[in-house]
Amino acid sequence: MLTITQALHDQIVAHAREDHPDEACGVVAGPVGEGRPERFIPMLNAARSPTFYEFDSGDLLKLYREMDDRDEEPVVIYHSHTATEAYPSRTDISYANEPGAHYVLVSTADADGLGDFQFRSYRIVDGEVTEEEVKVVEAY
């Protein structure tokens, strides 16, 4: 289960809406080994595409060095889908290389008739996708 604060949830959704019609992407870092998302880090979609996201390699290297310096790890890796439901694509699955991370997808398309976004979380390990419950809390 992913437990995330309302503030972080709202920041991820806002980023997805701001970057629409392109896919948004980013990371929420947290203390190593605690599995608690704390620091919101929106990233630039280097692909600038409505159907694909790509972290800029230089920005990603800088981010990982910064997380190392702060004793953090990527707890949430998020991106948006602009025209489909919030479910990992084959490409998303092939690029998922952080087995300990929660992969959050936000759909900015009204794919289910329930409103203008979906917020869903998955574990992706060795190509296996498992959806998990998301618990939104006011604070930890």
pLDDT digits (tens, 9 = 90+) for 13-72: 999 999 999 999 999 999 999 999 999 999 999 999 999 999 999 999 999 999 999 999
CA atoms within 13 A on the CB side of 104: 32
Asked whether residue 113 carries a pLDDT value surpassing 70, the answer given is no
User: What residues have CB less than 8 Å from 48, skipping those under 6 apart?
Assistant: 22
Q: How far apart are alpha carbons 99 and 69 in whole angstroms?
A: 21
Confidence at residue 116, expressed as pLDDT on a 0 to 100 scale: 63
| Residue of 8 and 118 predicted with greater confidence | 8
Confidence at residue 117, expressed as pLDDT on a 0 to 100 scale: 74
Whole-model pTM: value is: 0.94
